[in-house]
Amino acid sequence: MIYFDNSATTQPYKDVVETYTKVVQQYIGNPSSLHPLGRQAERLITQAREAVSSLLGVKSKEILFTSGGTEGNNLAIKGTAFRYRNRGRHLITTKVEHPSVYEAFQYLEGQGFEVTYLPVDKTGAVSVQKVKEALREDTILVSLIHVNNELGTVNPIQEVGRLLADYPKVLFHVDHVQGIGKVSLPFKGSGIDLCTVSGHKFHGLKGTGFLYLREGIWIDPLLHGGSQELRHRAGTENIAGAVSLAKALRLTLENQQNKTEKIKQLQGMIVNAVREIHGTHVNSMEDGAPHIIHFSVPGLKPEVLVQALAEEGIYVSTKSACSSKQSEPSRVLQETFRDEELAKSGIRVSLSYDNTEEEANTLITTLNRVIPELLEVVNI
């Protein structure tokens, strides 16, 4: 098996699975319980929170454990909107956000909020100027994706953060799900107030994640019924999930330091090879995230190519995993390229630090054979 769908989910590190198993078997207490087993569990989640915060250079009380990216984005966006609606009801995002952001804003429109969906340029990035032009007296939130989950485009988060420093009533949320461990983003010094991260995108387990919530910010919870996570997220804590996530983050950040050049080389190999295949169009940008390659084969249904590669033991995807079963063309590609053929024929190849040159060469060889065969069938 050759797995090139790491933007959808990653294979958990062996050490992470072992850590999870050990904790779930040996530490059975509820952190809210007063007996020794409860205090033991509480210490573990405190240590996990401190480990994550230390790796990111933030305070431990600024880390809220969640179930992943979708919950984190919804908690940040809806929690901010409802908490600060007396300040204003205007929100800003872009037209190319992940569905868990885009649909959260659509929901808020039905709750009486006004949303500005900013356009992006031909690379899929939003400009700082567009953000500035959209700001109003009643704006309370700007939410941007850091690394686009389909194209790998990197947004100018730090520049937007500097802009918003002059607008203290406007909070800044960043969806960092695709960027964590691949494209560095200092939480402190970037003007970020809220930041979403999902564990299974960096070799942690599904159902784990965290939301960075800057000290001094308060948001309305989505869940009620307990005082966990500083009253922002009720429910018994996932101790094993939090501990294993902290380990996955540490291992991934170590890989980012040591293996970034390797993954860039693999990306360059694949991009250059795809460009040489007749009928293909590379969509991802050279200055984008190092782990995402996106290309289109106009005239060919992407699911056909995905299945053809799967028959060869190679796994890639089309658009966001949350939307891949929908038949509509990619909203991200439509808004970026304004080209229906590119939008409905996109393929995403996404790498991890564990992928090898041999795997990349196998993919290249297979694409060189399969794409012309499929296009010939289509054109008969």
Q: State how far the Cα of 27 lies from the Cα of 335, in Å rounded to an integer.
A: 48
Alpha helices in 35-114 (DSSP H): 36-56, 69-83, 99-109
Neighbours of 53 (CB within 10 A): 19
CB 190 within 8 A of CB 209: no
* Strand ranges inside the chain, DSSP E: 2-3, 63-66, 90-94, 114-118, 139-145, 171-175, 194-198, 209-213, 281-282, 292-296, 314-315, 346-350
CB 193 within 8 A of CB 214: yes
| CA terminus-to-terminus distance, the chain | 32
- The length of the chain is 380
Active-site amino acid positions: 322
Please tell me whether residue 335 adopts helix, strand or coil conformation: helix
Whole-number Cα distances in Å, 98 to 224, 329, 342 = 26, 14, 19
Q: State how far the Cα of 135 lies from the Cα of 116, in Å rounded to an integer.
A: 9
